[in-house]
């Protein structure tokens, strides 16, 4: 399935038949003839209508007027495919009600984690790169806005000494009084291309949308950063818990080894029991170096996220005594439709779509003549001493136009290129919404199912712990052989390790839920110092863009303007909005 290109009627008759807007305009012109309008205004209106019709583009005269004297389509947000409710909405651990996820990591009630997130926000290098891209986009907006004013304003000056040839026509046939002369000049040139067709205003629209897209990109990087910091910290604490359990089991199995050695010394058991106990303890000890390596990698990853070289974070993290962050019994997830306005990546895709829509108008404006006012004024004289006399003033001013004709379809195909890119952006936006829903549903499912697994592992671990106690007692009494003790201790190591890992996965999956819901970007608006209380209310929509910072400065990133709501379209305008329906059919 492919997106249809914008149609360009091949004949004037087909244009008039296809565009109903020309009939009201013709009636207006007829009224102008009968109401005493000057012939000049009538001719100007007729020429304007012919320009808009003969170019064969899809913007009709009245639509050009309704668009604020701009060609090209006016943007409206396309439909987004979202579900009505979550698949697991009936689960008791979920609440389908609005909630403030601006500082979601505070639900773990861990001051160390709060401080790490704050430091990463201030120091993370990819986040600073995203901030620099905002400054770049803001400068590009300034360039586009500057095109609304006279595009050329320059001073010039020069000196030239000229001499005529005595052997060239006509100076070879007669001699002038002087064959050489000097020219001194200084002046000012200006040129202003009028934004008659909205070309420069569409450029400003595109630049503004691109600026907001870069701001949303900053928010997206911030949300990802917060999620990665929290997940890495939880993995760090999980590894510390697994190390603690592994060392505890090594100690337990060491006691068992001493018991078997004592029984072997007394001749009560064979050396097989001793060797089995020794092998079991060594196997458990072999887990520790692997866990320690992963623990060091997690610390190094935290250092990178906080924009610093790898270093010992023992003092910063409070040693290895931290616990796996506990999760709340219930999580407020709202409804799927909130993802469209809450997730920065979805808002970024929508703003990129708006920027591309404006580029269609920029390309379409090339079908029409470029109308400009040019002029210059200055002083010109042969002698420098007379250069600035009032009698040396020279200049000219007047309108002109430049029209790209006989372009052999290049302009129309350039419009089709931008329109096709717009269709791609529409599909990309809808795909982003679909992936947002998929990510959220996957995170919610993983969070809920891992909680069930934790409860099962708790029961299993408690049973195995009791089994180890009974096995050791019965082995010392000679009621069972050592294999039963060995199996119980191995099961205990496995169950305790799986339980600690699963408890960590519950917290990591909850982080993934908050990340998928798009929370955390509000931190850009109201940074939270470590240890400070959470603000009472956080905004759900971005705030207006603040004033421009000083050149070369790298301030906190600016605040985006709210995305425009879909405007109600008149029937004549509806065909000018290139939008793919939610179902994907064109």
What pLDDT does 57 receive?
52
259 in a domain, yes or no? Answer: yes
Q: Are residues 190 and 205 in the same domain?
A: no
Q: Are residues 213 and 233 in the same domain?
A: yes
Query: What is the Cα–Cα distance from 425 to 356, expressed in whole angstroms?
Result: 8
Ranking 15-19, 107-111, 251-255, 421-425 by mean pLDDT, the lowest is: 15-19
What pLDDT does 175 receive?
64
Instruction: List the helix and strand counts (H, then E) for the chain.
Output: 15, 6
What pLDDT does 117 receive?
94
Token output for 346: 């979805």
361 touches 70 (CB < 8 A): yes
14 in a domain, yes or no? Answer: yes
Q: Are residues 43 and 182 in the same domain?
A: no
For residue 497, pLDDT beyond 70: yes
pLDDT confidence tier of residue 95, bands split at 50, 70 and 90? confident
What pLDDT does 266 receive?
86
Q: Are residues 60 and 111 in the same domain?
A: no
Mean pLDDT calculated for residue range 528-533: 54
Q: Are residues 249 and 398 in the same domain?
A: no
486 touches 472 (CB < 8 A): no
Backbone angles phi, psi at 191, to 5 degrees: -145, 135
Q: What is the CATH number of the domain that holds 479?
A: 1.20.1600.10
pLDDT confidence tier of residue 447, bands split at 50, 70 and 90? very high
Which residues, listed in sequence order, are joined to residue 400 by a DSSP beta bridge? 372
What pLDDT does 478 receive?
84
Backbone angles phi, psi at 165, to 5 degrees: -80, 135
Q: Are residues 158 and 274 in the same domain?
A: no
Report for 209-218, 317-326, 330-339, 564-573: range of highest mean pLDDT? 209-218
What pLDDT does 173 receive?
64
For residue 405, pLDDT beyond 50: yes
450 touches 509 (CB < 8 A): yes
What pLDDT does 174 receive?
64
Q: Are residues 33 and 166 in the same domain?
A: no
Q: Are residues 238 and 116 in the same domain?
A: yes
For residue 8, pLDDT beyond 90: no
* 204 CB-near residues (< 8 Å, 6+ apart): 141, 144, 145, 147, 148
Out of 479, 499, 528, a domain closes at 528
Q: What is the DSSP string of 50-110?
A: HHHHHT--S--HHHHHHTTS--SPPP-PPP----SS-TTTTSTTEE-S----TTGGGGG--
84 in a domain, yes or no? Answer: no
pLDDT confidence tier of residue 24, bands split at 50, 70 and 90? very low
Which residues, listed in sequence order, are joined to residue 431 by a DSSP beta bridge? none
| Domain count across the chain | 3
pLDDT confidence tier of residue 129, bands split at 50, 70 and 90? very high
Q: Are residues 24 and 128 in the same domain?
A: no
For residue 579, pLDDT beyond 50: no
481 in a domain, yes or no? Answer: yes
Measured over the CA atoms of residue 485, residue 490, residue 494 and residue 500, the dihedral's sign is positive
Token output for 374: 């040019």
Q: Are residues 160 and 105 in the same domain?
A: no
Query: What is the Cα–Cα distance from 518 to 249, expressed in whole angstroms?
Result: 41
What pLDDT does 321 receive?
66
More confident residue, 536 or 23: 536
Out of 502, 528, 554, a domain closes at 528
Q: What is the CATH number of the domain that holds 159?
A: 2.20.200.10
What pLDDT does 320 receive?
61
What pLDDT does 329 receive?
87
Q: Are residues 6 and 154 in the same domain?
A: no
Nearest to 324 by CA among 243, 421, 241, 393: 241
Mean pLDDT calculated for residue range 171-184: 73
pTM of the full structure:
0.78
* 18 secondary structure, DSSP code: H
| DSSP H or E stretch at residue 257 | helix 199-265
Q: Are residues 341 and 296 in the same domain?
A: yes
546 in a domain, yes or no? Answer: no
What pLDDT does 59 receive?
72
Out of 51, 66, 81, a domain closes at 66
What pLDDT does 89 receive?
87
pLDDT confidence tier of residue 533, bands split at 50, 70 and 90? low
The pLDDT tens digits for 28-44 are 434 443 444 444 444 54
For residue 364, pLDDT beyond 50: yes
Range of the domain at 381: 150-194+369-402
Report for 60-74, 89-103, 209-223, 545-559: range of highest mean pLDDT? 209-223
**Mean pLDDT for all residues in the chain:** 81
Strands annotated E in 84-179: 94-95, 152-163
Report for 238-242, 318-322, 552-556: range of highest mean pLDDT? 238-242
Query: What is the Cα–Cα distance from 154 to 164, expressed in whole angstroms?
Result: 31
Pairing type for strands 94-95 and 331-332 reads parallel
More confident residue, 404 or 128: 128
The total of other beta-carbon atoms located within 10 Å of residue 198's CB is 23
328 in a domain, yes or no? Answer: no
pLDDT confidence tier of residue 187, bands split at 50, 70 and 90? very high
pLDDT confidence tier of residue 190, bands split at 50, 70 and 90? very high
Nearest to 60 by CA among 92, 36, 24: 24
| DSSP H or E stretch at residue 413 | helix 410-476
Q: Backbone dihedral region of 319: left (phi > 0), alpha (psi from -120 to 50 degrees) or beta?
A: left
């Amino acid at each position: 399935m492919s997106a249809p290109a914008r149609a360009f009627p091949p004949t004037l008759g087909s244009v008039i038949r296809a565009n109903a807007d020309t009939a009201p305009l013709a009636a207006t012109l007829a009224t102008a003839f009968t109401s005493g309008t000057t012939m000049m205004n009538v001719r100007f209106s007729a020429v304007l209508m012919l320009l808009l019709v003969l170019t064969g583009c899809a913007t009709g005269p009245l639509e050009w007027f309704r668009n604020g004297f701009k060609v090209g389509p006016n943007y409206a947000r396309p439909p987004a495919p979202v579900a009505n409710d979550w698949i697991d909405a009936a689960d008791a651990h979920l609440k389908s009600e609005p909630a403030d996820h601006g500082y979601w990591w505070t639900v773990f009630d861990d001051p160390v984690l709060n401080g790490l997130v704050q430091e990463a926000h201030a120091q993370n290098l990819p986040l600073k790169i995203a901030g620099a891209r905002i400054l770049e986009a803001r400068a590009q907006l300034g360039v586009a806005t500057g095109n609304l004013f006279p595009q050329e304003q320059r001073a010039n000056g020069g000196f030239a000494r000229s001499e005529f040839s005595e052997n060239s026509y006509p100076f070879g046939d007669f001699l002038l009084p002087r064959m050489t002369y000097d020219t001194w000049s200084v002046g000012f040139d200006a040129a202003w291309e009028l934004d008659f067709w909205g070309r420069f205003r569409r450029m400003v629209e595109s630049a503004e949308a691109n600026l907001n897209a870069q701001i949303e990109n900053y928010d997206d990087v911030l949300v990802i950063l917060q999620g990665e910091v929290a997940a890495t910290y939880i993995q760090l604490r999980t590894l510390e818990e697994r190390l603690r359990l592994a060392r505890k089991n090594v100690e337990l199995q060491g006691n068992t080894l001493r018991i078997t050695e004592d029984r072997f010394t007394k001749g009560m058991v064979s050396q097989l029991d001793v060797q089995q106990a020794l092998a079991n303890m060594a196997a458990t000890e072999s887990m520790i170096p692997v866990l320690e390596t992963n623990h060091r990698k997690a610390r190094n990853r935290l250092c990178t996220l906080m924009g610093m070289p790898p270093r010992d974070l023992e003092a910063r993290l409070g040693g290895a005594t931290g616990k796996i962050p506990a999760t709340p019994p219930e999580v407020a997830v709202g409804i799927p439709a909130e993802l469209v306005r809450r997730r920065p990546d979805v808002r970024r895709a929508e703003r990129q779509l708006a920027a591309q829509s404006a580029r269609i108008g920029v390309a379409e404006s090339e079908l029409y003549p470029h109308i400009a006012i040019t002029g210059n004024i200055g002083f010109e004289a042969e002698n420098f001493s007379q250069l600035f006399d009032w009698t040396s003033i020279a200049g000219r001013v007047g309108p002109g136009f430049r029209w790209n004709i006989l372009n052999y379809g290049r302009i129309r195909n350039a419009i089709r290129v931008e329109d096709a890119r717009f269709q791609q952006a529409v599909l990309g936006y809808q795909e982003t919404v679909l992936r947002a829903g998929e990510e959220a549903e996957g995170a919610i499912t993983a969070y809920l199912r891992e909680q069930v697994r934790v409860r099962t592992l708790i029961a299993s671990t408690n049973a195995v712990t009791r089994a180890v106690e009974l096995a050791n007692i019965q082995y010392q009494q000679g009621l069972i052989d050592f294999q039963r003790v060995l199996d119980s201790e191995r099961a205990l190591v496995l169950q305790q390790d799986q339980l600690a890992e699963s408890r960590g996965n519950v917290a990591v999956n909850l982080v993934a839920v908050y990340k998928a819901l798009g929370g955390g970007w509000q931190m850009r608006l109201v940074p939270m110092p470590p240890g400070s209380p959470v603000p009472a209310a956080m905004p759900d929509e971005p705030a207006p863009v603040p004033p421009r910072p000083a050149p070369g400065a790298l301030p906190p990133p600016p605040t985006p303007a709210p995305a425009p709501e879909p405007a109600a379209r008149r029937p004549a305008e509806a065909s000018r909005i290139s939008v793919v329906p939610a179902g994907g059919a064109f």
